[in-house]
């Protein structure tokens, strides 16, 4: 499996953990259940860091512009951002 395909998978996983983290926030603050938020948050943090590293790696390997690399990293700060990155930037190169 090449690094671009790995990044596409990582973008989806990071996106899902972001959404799951958003679902566990009410559990923490409304129902005082801290454990789900802790574990999902930790998992999301690991995948977020891995995603940023892979974006930099793939960005330089596939000669993306610095602007595009910045956009791909910045998009991870928003819900559904990594799904958009996969659709807009990564899917085209994978074909």
| Model confidence pLDDT, tens digit, residues 14-65 | 999 999 988 999 999 999 999 999 999 999 999 999 999 999 999 999 999 9
| Number of structural domains found in the chain | 1
Q: Is residue 21 part of a domain?
A: yes
Q: What is the pLDDT averaged over residues 67-78?
A: 96
Q: Is residue 46 part of a domain?
A: yes
Residue pLDDT, tens place only, 48-57 = 999 999 999 9
According to the model, what pLDDT value does residue 93 have?
Answer: 84
Q: Can you give the pTM of this predicted structure?
A: 0.92
Domain range enclosing 25: 3-89
Q: Is residue 95 part of a domain?
A: no
Residue among 41, 48, 13 at smallest CA distance from 33: 41
Q: Is residue 9 part of a domain?
A: yes
Q: Is residue 61 part of a domain?
A: yes
Q: Is residue 57 part of a domain?
A: yes
């Amino acid at each position: 499996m090449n690094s671009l395909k790995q990044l596409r998978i990582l973008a989806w996983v990071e996106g899902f953990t972001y959404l799951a983290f958003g679902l566990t926030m009410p559990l923490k603050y409304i129902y005082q259940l801290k454990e789900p938020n802790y574990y999902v948050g930790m998992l999301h943090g690991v995948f977020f860091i891995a995603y940023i590293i892979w974006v930099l790696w793939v960005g330089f390997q596939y000669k993306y512009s610095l602007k595009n690399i910045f956009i791909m990293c910045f998009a991870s700060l928003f819900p559904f951002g990594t799904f958009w990155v996969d659709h807009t930037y990564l899917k085209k190169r994978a074909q």
